[in-house]
Amino acid sequence: MTEAMLAVEDLVVRFAVKREGLFGKPGQLHAVDGVSFEIGRGRTLGLVGESGSGKSTSALAIARLIPAVSGRVHLGGIDLLGLEGEVLRDQRRRMQFIFQDPYSSLNPRLRAGAIVREPLDRLGIGTPAERTGRVDELFTEVGLRPEQQRLFPHQFSGGQRQRLGIARALASKPDLIICDEPVSALDVAVQAQILNLLARLQRDLGLTCLFISHDLGVVQHMCDDVAVMYMGRIVEHASRRRLFTSPRHPYTQALLSAVPSADPSRQRRERIMLTGDPPSPIDPAPGCRFASRCPMVEARCRAATPGFRELEAGHWAACRRIGE
């Protein structure tokens, strides 16, 4: 059994919303509702689902960039949600973020070298000479030229800006990298280059990665394990191979049926068209969150939340109808 680098237990994130009318009660938006998963050291977990499912919110809460209502986030055995002040700052060097948009995630007023060096300065890592050497090393690792350190972000292409973001994330030699849709804002040809770069860096540096994406083709290429989210909850979790060849949850089956393929040897899935609307995330009703759109729904699905059970070794799902 691979040692868990990141262990998330019952993570809950909610946001207050304005009350309706003068006498209405203020509500809460259930963005993440009891999410749990583990990532083994040196492995990559893909977190997938449609927009609004809670993927990025989960990642931001794990990184302590937004507050969580409850839960536990253990990084190498240390609960990050219980840390504050200088102790939390010391742990931040072990976990870094690669953001979705390379255009807005870089400070336009800083030169490229200063952007990559900034985490080293803020976290007090190494001497000034060691930091300079580390920046030179990082530019080479991500495929940028040393002389490009003098340029500003607007002088780089989109792919080069994302390489800068990757270099900045690697600066503190983290144990965990969180990739939040790292290639969705890039052209297809550039996406392949960045994905291959991330795969090589993970292999060479032994990184543990949480990879968030709505692109199942990218997830299949990058990840060892996959967790599928819907309306703030994980509905299925399995190895990449098992999830793509034998999806069990109706929502996962619908997602995979919509993935196009140019491979003639691949067995074509019957397209599953979902009807109905998802429930409101503001104070949702009890029962399965997918019940309003599920083609297999029955009365008991709306009565109580289905448990997350292990169907076979390493394959988990939350659906009462599986196996019937």
| Dihedral of alpha carbons 230, 235, 240, 246, sign | negative
User: Taking the CA atoms of the chain, what radius of gyration do you get in angstroms?
Assistant: 21
Predicted confidence at residue 262, as pLDDT, reads 47
- pLDDT reading at 323 higher than 80: no
Whether residue 249 is contained in a domain is answered as: no
Whether residue 132 is contained in a domain is answered as: yes
Mean pLDDT, residues 253-266? 70
Whether residue 292 is contained in a domain is answered as: no
Whether residue 144 is contained in a domain is answered as: yes
Mean pLDDT, residues 37-42? 95
Mean pLDDT, residues 182-200? 91
Q: What would the 3-class secondary structure string for 204-242 be?
A: HHCCEEEEECCCHHHHHHHCCEEEEEECCEEEEEEEHHH
- pLDDT reading at 228 higher than 80: yes
Q: How many structural domains compose the chain?
A: 1
Whether residue 148 is contained in a domain is answered as: yes
18 DSSP 8-state letter: P
* Cβ–Cβ under 8 Å, residues 53 and 230: yes
Predicted confidence at residue 1, as pLDDT, reads 47
Residue position matching structure tokens 């990449």: 240
pLDDT tens-digit series, residues 50-63 = 988 999 999 999 99
* Cβ–Cβ under 8 Å, residues 35 and 102: no
* Cβ–Cβ under 8 Å, residues 166 and 172: no
Task: Report how far residue 154's alpha carbon sits from residue 159's, in angstroms, rounded to the nearest whole number.
Answer: 12
Q: Can you list the pairs that 305-309 forms with residues at least 24 positions away whose Cβ atoms lie under 8 Å?
A: 308/36, 308/234
Whether residue 130 is contained in a domain is answered as: yes
Whether residue 127 is contained in a domain is answered as: yes
Q: What is the mean pLDDT of the chain?
A: 90
- Domain with 160, as residue range(s), is 106-173
Q: How confident is the model at residue 82 (pLDDT cuts 50, 70, 90)?
A: confident
Which pair of tokens denotes residue 153? 């972000």
Contacts of 208 (CB under 8 A, 6+ apart): 5, 6, 39, 40, 41, 42, 43, 44, 175, 176, 177
Whether residue 224 is contained in a domain is answered as: no
Work out the number of other CB atoms within 10 angstroms of the CB of residue 66.
16
What is the pTM assigned to this prediction?
Answer: 0.90
Bridge partners of 45, per DSSP, are: 210, 225
Three-point CA angle 46, 316, 29, nearest 5° = 65
